[in-house]
Structure 1
Amino acid sequence: MTEAAELPPAPDEARTVFGEFFPEAVRYAELLADAGVKRGLIGPREVPRLWERHLLNCAVLSEVVPEGVTVCDVGSGAGLPGIPLALVRPDLKITLLEPLLRRTNFLQEVVELLGLDHVTVVRGRAEEVLGTLQPVHVVTARAVAPLDRLAGWGVPLLRPYGEMLALKGDTAEEEIKGARAALSKLGVVETSVLQVGEDIVDPLATVVRVKVGESPGGVRFATKRAKAAQVGRARRRR
């Protein structure tokens, strides 16, 4: 069994960001540092920098999420960015979408322990929940996939005029350039790179914002791809 590293004390910025939900943020950090490491959801080397690199880096995403909207966190993993976002924004209705059972089990435990009534855990892949999950205003993601693939999963889940907010690194601009053809097919009408977390995180968190118009083409594109995949699997079974 992997030994969990020691979790450092929460920085002052965490008290500012999480406010009245700071105790819940501390509990979540403790769960990540302990059960999260033991279950292989987060690497033991990440524990000493859990606050700065993970919790705060994700929480500042709230700066660009509109008030009172529905959110789907695609490939939520250990709950990043979905759980920190939920802690700082109780006005949001958040779905944590994750295909792996061991991760969804952890997420469900966290949601119940922290009393996050505005958060729902759903097991599945983005293409599998099309038609069953209600379209959302905002899709979030962090460290899931390159932008072209991520958009193929996330954009079809959006409502008209919705947006995907992806936490990215220094290659954000290059990813946008490389994904332009895929984004166009998905009905994306605008892309931008935002910097958030001033006076909270250093370096600032980089967010790629992808907006769709009145008639996003993502659902049709994803449905075609899902059908093609089903046909391919059927042929291989013959």
Structure 2
Amino acid sequence: MFHVKHDAEFDNPDIAAAAHTLFGRRVEAAATYRDFLADAGVVRGLIGPREVDQMWSRHVLNCAAAAEAIAADGRVVDIGSGAGLPGIPLALARSDLRVTLVEPLLRRYEFLVEIVGMLGLDVEVVRGRAEDKEVIAAVGGTDVVTSRAVAPLDRLARWSLPLLRPGGELLAIKGSSAGEEIEKHRAALSRAGLGDLRVESFGADTLAVATTVVRGEYRGKPGKRR
């Protein structure tokens, strides 16, 4: 049985309400994940100690809000997953999603395996880089590739698109300069087969600061468009 530990941020009624809205019955599991990030995540160097006081708002809830962007029963691959962001909050918020976390570094991979087991999530953890042939063979053809604070959009597309099926979507959680980043890389992204690029916001009715997502559709390899 999970138990919501006391933390000052969760005492904020707006944070608590947002957590219950986004996670529903899994809010206690989300709290366990938050506590693991604040403890083991900091000790193992995956999360900065200054982040502890804003773990809900800046990390867990920020990622969970993006679940609204994903269609029912979607297959989701989270690349460069690190501490499980955004993949684990997405899996907690949406039990219908089939989530795979991809992470190359051993200590982060081990962290992910440990917390997925602790939470009892049906989430696969794969060690490797998104561009590795073995990773592409294992998880390629997915519906959605997610990421958060991994790389600029041009590099992100090179790593993400080989994992997507034609018609699949790249969903990258970004900051306030997302629109500028799209314009900077639009030509390269189009050549790579990524179209319908746009910036969307999620969680505006729930969070103090909405989650900004760059969204694009993979239209297939150049010369093989549908």
Q: TM-score, normalised by structure 2?
A: 0.90
Cα–Cα, structure 1 residues 75 and 144, in superposed 2: closer, same or farther, change >3 Å? same
Query: Where does residue 174 of structure 2 map in the other structure?
Result: 168
- Change in CA separation of 1:123 and 1:203 when aligned onto 2, cut-off 3 Å: same
Of the three residues 206, 212, 218, the one matched with 2:212 is 206
Name the CA shift for 1:45/1:7 in 2 (closer, same or farther; >3 Å): farther
After the TM superposition, which of the residue ranges 78-87 and 123-132 deviates more from structure 2? Answer: 123-132
Please tell me whether Structure 1 or Structure 2 has the larger radius of gyration of its CA atoms: 1
Change (3 A) 1:218 1:205: farther
Which residue in the other structure is 2:3 paired with? Answer: none
- Cα distance 1:109–1:45, how it changes in 2: closer, same or farther (>3 A)? same
Partner of 1:49: 54
d(CA) in 2 for partners of 1:108 and 1:130? 20
Q: Tell me which residue corresponds to 1:123.
A: 127
Equivalent residue number for residue 157 of structure 1 = 163
2:45 alignment partner in structure 1: 40
Matched, 1:71 2:73: no
Is the CA contact 2:140–2:162 (under 8 Å) kept in the aligned structure 1? no
CA shift for structure 1 position 66: 0.6
SS of residue in 2 equivalent to 1:170: coil
Q: Give the partner amino acid of 1:177.
A: E
- Decide which of 11, 16, 19 is 1:14's aligned counterpart: 19
Question: Is 2:203–2:210's contact at 8 Å kept on the other side of the alignment?
Answer: yes
RMSD: 1.7
User: Which sections of structure 1, spanning at least 5 residues, go unmatched?
Assistant: 1-5, 220-238
Deviations 1:12-54 (A, max 9, x none): 2112211100110010011000000000000000000000010
C-alpha displacement of 1:184:
1.7
C-alpha distance after superposition, 1:112-144 (max 9, x if no partner): 000001x10001001102233231000000000
Secondary structure at the aligned position of 1:184 is classed as helix
Alpha carbons 1:130, 1:157 under 8 Å: kept: yes
Residue 199 (structure 1) shift:
2.2
SS in 2 for 1:40: coil
Alignment correspondent of 1:88: 93
**Worse-superposed segment, 25-34 or 198-207:** 198-207
Quote the Cα distance in structure 1 between the aligned partners of 2:138 and 2:116. 22
Shift of 1:181: 2.4
Q: Which amino acid aligns with 1:54?
A: H
Q: Is the 8 A contact 1:139 1:163 kept in 2?
A: yes
* Alpha-carbon distance in 2 for matches of 1:163, 1:113: 30
Structure 1 residue 218: Cα displacement:
11
- Look up the SS of the partner of 1:76 in the other structure: coil
Say if 1:195 and 1:60 are closer, same or farther in 2 by CA, change over 3 A: same
Moved over 6 A (4+): none
Distance 1:142 1:218 in 2: 30
**Residue pair 1:75, 1:144 contacting (<8 A) in 2 also:** yes
Give the 3 Å change call, closer, same or farther, for CA 38–217 of structure 1 in structure 2. farther
